[in-house]
Structure 1
């Protein structure tokens, strides 16, 4: 009889590798994907454990020590592209120390480039392609019965020195049939986790997901390429929120959905239920500028929404079109105005170094960001991630350092033809200084300093990010 023990691991990644000079204010969020998979396999009779290395500050040696004590049959790792090298190194260390363990890998990266990932990291035994909610429990049962992993749809595995890719599963995940996340086995939750700066103004706070996927087809994004679009019902979400509040005293949640407003009827029902049940929860979310309206935003504010983040990316219409945003600058301004009218704070996410970027388009973007009415501003570097349409187009538009370990969004790996890496970095710093050294963002931040922890982290962020840049 094989062991039913499985350990899920969030690989150890130094915050400096992700945030550079912003490491001290960098976020450490619960691994939502692992929490859900742990809950799913627990329902099937398995005994899951979660080791969250970044949150616990664990080294590879610490992980190996814990694995030897648990002695699991399976070890599941997760990684997006910025963390894939760490996952590969950890897999190698685990295979050397616990050779009998079957090492699994899931996440957006291996879903995008499965063969390349398996070839590069020979210590990974089985990978998952796409959502693993159904594939993982089926695989565990299949392997424990002595059958080949290659019989399970949605996987890539090794068989007689060959890679067998069974492709993505066809069926749609019924989210309401899934259990609540296994927060109870997450060591230190929620208190050891740090929220993204200015993403919450009450604590304890935690991120949640109420839907999957996005209807957008942006060329640089994983979501439109790989995920089906689905949502939990309003009733399921309310049950989740009540559970988090009653058991963990959660007072605020950050909706990490790619686009919270996709399912309008379900959204309206959820907002009305939040208002009626008086849960006293505040929250923030992400949305597309072309999918909000005044009625919706007013209801969101009444239901506790205090901040909304829009993916804007650029202030140049030609580049917006090239990115596949399917929005206009006018729609951006209108969405910001409507949020302000509803009393909701706005954050704009931008990137620099796009295909076709020039000094003139950068100047246009900075001016647009400063004059469109935003309360807050983020700017990272355009990064053609593996498996996205942008990764196939990059060589046509400039020089692309196609090395996975450098793709963290905080340092430029794609350099447009008319610019240099130094110019991109200097322009990012200039954009931050120009945006934040104005009355609107200063006043917006002052409204949030009731929480001293946020105030201190904010002051440090402004010093590091605005005055010194990211220093990656």
Structure 2
């Protein structure tokens, strides 16, 4: 069958960076480039290896647009990993759940091209394919979908793009056998068995081709503690990432694994997709943030530390530990399992969470191995923070950075410039706050230009005011599903920035871009290789 040679070219990121594009690509993946030839020489690149054949092969769709924007050490697709674990093992605790032979082809981290992907689909004799596009890699997923159509292999769509708007997802993937809105652990087995048998039973949150896609429904959620353990040793290619970091003033080589242990987020920031993904405004009756008990989290920790040999963990959750009780339980559990001082960890949280911790809790947090905590600061303007429903104040951030620094824990801050209606003076407030936080102990920042993504409250705000912008947002690329040609209206992607003449903030995009670059230059001085630039 004819196969396109490559995906859409990587964005040209060399214009404002000291690093070359090749250097960015080389350091951008947890899979060491030197390992790729051996992996690609295997008969099967799918995991678990060497199972050979699968009822369901989930493909982590490549995202050529993101490559170069993501900092060192891109993580494995934990959402897909949870679904594969459920497909393979959930029947052991839920006897009525159908057993499915499921595997993962991590096409993104392996940097696979279309010809390699279809080759793996055919070699594994996959009965059904799973695709997980986000807003920015729909064309790559469409390319894989076309190959599936040509090979006569049905595919299921799930993840962010499918959940944010099933109608848009169906327009982009009209031949999808099913579109799953919401979490997939409880439905993936029944869906795969139904497709294999030619049936289309009514399953909550599953949109078959003839389903009314305008009706709002989502799948039943599984409790995080009920999801079978993700065996990274079996399912993840190169699950431990070796790199060098600066801790307590010294360079140290660490061997880092990553974990995702909770579900959702209890907040409703307007620019974030999480409120939609967890059904926060749909009266599902389920809390928008859930976590397993600490023993289950410790099982995962022990698996990567003792099973994989990791001496560092990156918790990818929006908020893995959000209370004094969580820190106490983590400390006592690590002590009981003789894991204290066996690894260090980093994670993400919000400033008010840190501010609720007393000195004793901060001390215990440090003793558990915490070495870096990232905070989503976003803005130095209280007015902007209120508008985006951050539920954080500038003073909250000041206090949290100081408290973390006093405890000997590094702090990273995430900042966004150019929110809808944001003024130049408000962006300057953010720049001033970044400098102040640096003096208070913040050690690292990432700064981004705001981008509206479909399904978010901010996107709807922008579209209500400027509906014509939808065709100008180059990162929302679309291709005709029948022949793969580019749809009219989208600009070419040759930069991670919005086009200079687009005006979402109170000033043009070119001015927003300048403020991002100035903020980074102010903070890092003459250290451009440490700077993370891009858009969110």
* TM-score, length of structure 1 as denominator length: 0.84
Q: Output the CA distance in 2 between the equivalents of 1:327 and 1:28.
A: 28
Q: Secondary structure at the match of 1:124?
A: coil
After superposition, where does 1:416-435 map in structure 2 within 5 Å?
A: 416-435=504-523
Matched, 1:211 2:280: no
Give, in whole Å, the separation in 2 of the partners of 1:184 and 1:85: 31
**Structure 2 residue aligned with 1:436:** 524
8 Å CA contact 2:225, 2:296 repeated in 1: yes
* Secondary structure class of the residue paired with 1:285: strand
Please tell me whether the aligned partners of residues 327 and 365 of structure 2 are also in contact (alpha carbons under 8 angstroms): no
Structure 2 stretches of 5 or more lacking a match? 1-52, 92-98, 279-287, 478-494
Q: In structure 2, how many angstroms separate the alpha carbons of the residues matched to 1:234 and 1:430? A: 43
Residue 262 in structure 1 maps to residue 330 in structure 2: no
C-alpha distance in 2, partners of 1:434/1:400? 35
Determine if contact 1:205/1:251 at 8 Å carries over to the other structure: yes
Cα distance, 1:163 vs structure 2: 4.7
Output the CA distance in 2 between the equivalents of 1:395 and 1:146: 40
1:46 aligns with 2:94: no
Structure 1 residue 435: Cα displacement: 0.9
Q: What are the superposed Cα offsets for residues 180-228 of structure 1, whole Å, 9 maximum, x if unpaired?
A: 114244363225x588998996532122112111111111111133323
> Which residue does the alignment assign to 1:282?
344
SS of the residue 1:203 aligns to? strand
Q: Displacement, 1:323? A: 0.4
In the other structure, the counterpart of 2:56 is 6
Q: CA separation in 2, counterparts of 1:229 and 1:261?
A: 12
1:145 deviates by 4.3
Cα distance, 1:196–1:109 mapped onto 2, change above 3 Å: farther
The answer to whether residue 258 in structure 2 is matched with residue 177 in structure 1 is no
Deviates more, 1:243-252 or 1:288-297: 288-297
Contact 2:419-2:505 at 8 Å conserved across structures: no
- 2:387 equivalent in structure 1: 322
Shift of 1:123: 3.2
Q: Are residues 9 and 305 of structure 1, via their aligned partners in 2, closer, same or farther at CA, if it must alter by over 3 Å?
A: same
1:388 and 2:456 are equivalent in the alignment: yes
Matches within 5 A, 1:298-447: 298-372=363-437, 373=440, 374-395=442-463, 401-402=469-470, 406=475, 410-412=496-498, 415-437=503-525
- How far, CA to CA, are the matches of 1:263 and 1:147 in structure 2? 46
Counterparts of 1:400 and 1:90, CA distance in 2: 29
* Change in 2 beyond 3 A, CA 1:195/1:405: farther
Q: Secondary structure in 1 aligned to 2:184?
A: coil
How many residues get paired? 436
Distance 1:61 1:49 in 2: 19
Q: CA deviation at 1:129?
A: 0.6
2:79 match: 33
What residue number does 1:70 align with? Answer: 124
- Does the residue aligned with 1:39 lie in a helix, a strand or coil? helix
- Structure 1 range deviating more: 341-350 or 221-230: 221-230
SS in 1 for 2:174: coil
- Mapped to 2, the partners of 1:86 and 1:107 lie a distance apart of 15
CA-CA distance at 1:339 after TM superposition: 0.8
How far off is 1:418 after superposition? Answer: 2.9
Q: Distance in 2 between matches of 1:383 and 1:276?
A: 45
**Number of the residue aligned with 1:114:** 166
For residues 103-252 of structure 1, the aligned pairs below 5 Å read 103-149=155-201, 151-159=202-210, 163=213, 167-169=217-219, 171-186=220-235, 188-191=237-240, 202-227=253-278, 228-252=288-312
RMSD over equivalenced CA pairs, Å:
3.0
Cα distance change, pair 380–407 in 1 and its aligned pair in 2 (3 A)? farther
Q: Give the drift of 1:389.
A: 0.9
Q: What are the superposed Cα offsets for residues 227-253 of structure 1, whole Å, 9 maximum, x if unpaired?
A: 231102110111111111222111111
Distance 2:374 2:265 in 1: 15
Whether the 8 Å contact between 2:244 and 2:253 is mirrored in structure 1 is no
Shift of 1:102: 1.9
Q: Is the CA contact 1:313–1:351 (under 8 Å) kept in the aligned structure 2?
A: yes
- The unaligned stretches of length 5 or more in structure 1 are 439-458
Asked if 2 retains the 8 angstrom alpha-carbon contact of 1:294 and 1:339, the reply is no
The residue aligned with 2:282 is none
1:195·1:206 contact (CA, 8 Å) conserved in 2?
A: no
Cα separation, 1, equivalents of 2:418 and 2:506: 10
**1:155 touches 1:165 (CA, 8 Å); kept in 2?**
no
Q: Secondary structure of 2:109's match?
A: helix
DSSP 3-state at the match of 1:367: helix
TM-score normalised to the size of structure 2? Answer: 0.75
Native 8 Å contact 1:350 1:378 kept in 2: yes
Check the 8 A contact 1:294/1:338 in 2, yes or no.
Answer: no
Choose which of 132, 135, 145 in structure 2 pairs with 1:91.
145
Provide the C-alpha distance between the structure 2 equivalents of 1:251 and 1:50, rounded to a whole number of angstroms: 25
Which segment is superposed worse, 405-414 or 345-354?
Answer: 405-414
What residue in structure 1 maps to residue 113 of structure 2? 59
Structure 2 CA distance for aligned equivalents of residues 380 and 425 of structure 1: 9
Q: Secondary structure at the match of 2:425?
A: helix
Look up the SS of the partner of 1:55 in the other structure: coil
